[in-house]
Chains A and B, each alone.
Chain A
Amino acid sequence: MSAAQGRPLLQIRGLHKHFRDVEVLKGVDLEVHEREVVSIIGSSGSGKTTLLRCVNLLEEFDGGEIVLDGESIGYRLRRGRRHRLPDRLLSRQRAMTGMVFQNFNLFPHLTALGNVMLGLTKVRRMQRDEARALAENWLARVGLAQRTGYYPSQLSGGQQQRVAIARALAMNPKLVLLDEVTSALDPELVQEVLATVKSLADEGATLLIVTHEMGFARQVSHRVVFMDKGLIAEQGPPAQVFERPASARLAEFLGSARH
């Protein structure tokens, strides 16, 4: 994969986060450039999902800064103290990123089309016709043109996850966060979702991916980041990270991931 990326889109500096007395992020620094695909790997408890959730402002964080497209997100300083931004601003900033969840989290009371349209009509404030056309277009792109009127309960896991991808992408986010998007799927459904993510990467979307699928991370990423105990332990191009791990921790992790 070429590393022909643009300017830095996401800048995470010194990110700290703890749950009660457990420190899960201990000062994470990470940059993601425009059109770059970055995968985060690491054992469970390493803080990778928490990092992703901080970027989408689903978690509060205790220190450090996240800058998205030049805008500091989640907090502002006033008289030397950090304040969480008001809900309305958080919502606007959240809309700058798209999130795809491990458990899909589709809205069960809405059809596939309704799921994709909701953000378009309520957040982007598009006219219904325009929103419908765009939503249908995105569902077609994830291979679900024939399923627009189906409810989530009528779709397979792989189809649900593809609807979730369409829902996130239709909002035209600057950055897409994918949180273990195949972990809840039956093995035979994993490939269709990975192929969909691969096509996004090929089209130049900026992706930050948390995954356990090492083969996929290697195939799709420009850069792979290994997190260990709340810190980035090692990062680099996939070939380097997977074939010449510098640290013993990463070598050990890769060994166990290979079973």
Chain B
Amino acid sequence: MDRFLTQLWLARDAIVGGVLITMEAALAAIAVGTVLGLAIGLLLVYGHPVVRGACRAYVDIIRGTPVLVLILAAFYITPALGLQMDAFQAGLLALSLFCGAHLGEIVRGAVRTVPHGQSEAGRSIGLTFPQLLAYVILPQALRQALPPWVNTGVELVKASTLLSVIGVGELLLKTQEIVGRNFMTLQFYAVAGALYLLVNLGIETLGRSLEARVRS
């Protein structure tokens, strides 16, 4: 036990750094993915048929591809296209695209649940289309989308472990490095597991309090 605590103390900077990178990657991907998903979702419902087709292809291709493949693709293909990206940026790109596709589908479904009569009522009082979206459709749709949105956040934290494959120093890679030095496999993977659980419980708690707020 003493030896474990000593090793834990020695590894503290690496672990904290790993958690921070994990959270940074997940939060940034959620932020970018949310903006992307909102746009994609609305275009899937209201877009010109050509635009809708393009969005549908994006969503289906991304959702049909394993996240690991997306990450490797972003890491190896972007330099070939002449884009200078470090591993973290490439990983973030992959996670954001993944998140955007999932949220796009979630937003589309949520907008579809708002009855057509709502649009007609909004239009009948003279709301323009952007006003209709902002004050009538989205407030109702986003309430529907909140639980799956929180769920996507949790999925992203878990998917961020895959960034270790391209050498991003997030929690899993840091843990592997630590274990490589002290061979305390069980203990340090348990620590990593507990930290992931903690982060995800935090996200779920945040999500539940948001839900409680919009319900009241």
- Give A contacts to B, CB under 8 Å: 56-58, 87-88, 91-92, 94-95, 97-99, 101, 103, 105-109, 118-119, 122-123, 164, 167-168, 171
Contact = CB atoms under 8 A, between A and B. Distances in A.
Interface stretch (B129-137, B148-156, B177-185): B129-137
Interface string B80-119: 0000000000000000000000000000000000010110
B125 interface: yes
Contacts of B124: 56, 58, 94, 97-99, 101, 168
Contacts of A168: 124-125
Closest 5 CB pairs of A and B: A95-B126, A119-B125, A105-B121, A99-B124, A105-B117
Contact of B125 (A87, A109, A167): A167
Contacts, number: 66
B127 A123 contact: yes
A161 to B, nearest CB: 12
B140 A108 contact: yes
Interface of B: 115, 117-118, 120-129, 131, 135-136, 139-140, 143
Contacts of B123: 57-58, 91, 94
Contacts of B118: 105, 107
Contacts of B136: 107, 118
Residue of B117, B118, B122, B124 with highest tally of chain A CB at under 10 A: B124
A118 B125 contact: yes
Contacts of B126: 91-92, 94-95, 119, 123, 171
Interface of B is mostly: helix
Contacts of B122: 107
A171 B127 CA distance: 12
A106 B139 contact: no
Nearest to A87: B129
A228 to B, nearest CB: 26
Contacts of A97: 124
Given A91-B129, A118-B135, 20 more contacts: A56-B124, A58-B123, A88-B128, A91-B123, A91-B127, A94-B125, A95-B125, A95-B126, A97-B124, A98-B125, A101-B117, A105-B115, A107-B118, A107-B121, A107-B140, A109-B140, A118-B136, A122-B127, A123-B126, A164-B121
A101 B125 contact: no
Nearest to B116: A105
Given A122-B131, A122-B135, A171-B125, A109 B143 contact: yes
18 contacts: A56-B124, A91-B123, A91-B126, A91-B129, A94-B125, A97-B124, A98-B125, A99-B121, A103-B117, A105-B121, A109-B139, A118-B136, A119-B125, A123-B125, A123-B126, A123-B131, A164-B121, A168-B124
Contacts of B115: 105
Nearest to A106: B121
Nearest to B120: A58
Contacts of B143: 109
A119 B123 CA distance: 10
B111 to A, nearest CB: 14
A103 B131 CA distance: 22
Nearest to B128: A91
Contacts of A108: 140
Contacts of A119: 125-127
B206 to A, nearest CB: 22
A168 B120 CA distance: 12
A107 B127 CA distance: 13
Nearest to A53: B120
A108 B115 CA distance: 11
A167 B118 CA distance: 13
A118 to B, nearest CB: 6
B114 to A, nearest CB: 9
A108 B121 CA distance: 12
Contacts of B135: 118, 122
Nearest to B115: A105
A57 B135 CA distance: 20
B149 to A, nearest CB: 17
Contacts of A105: 115, 117-118, 120-121
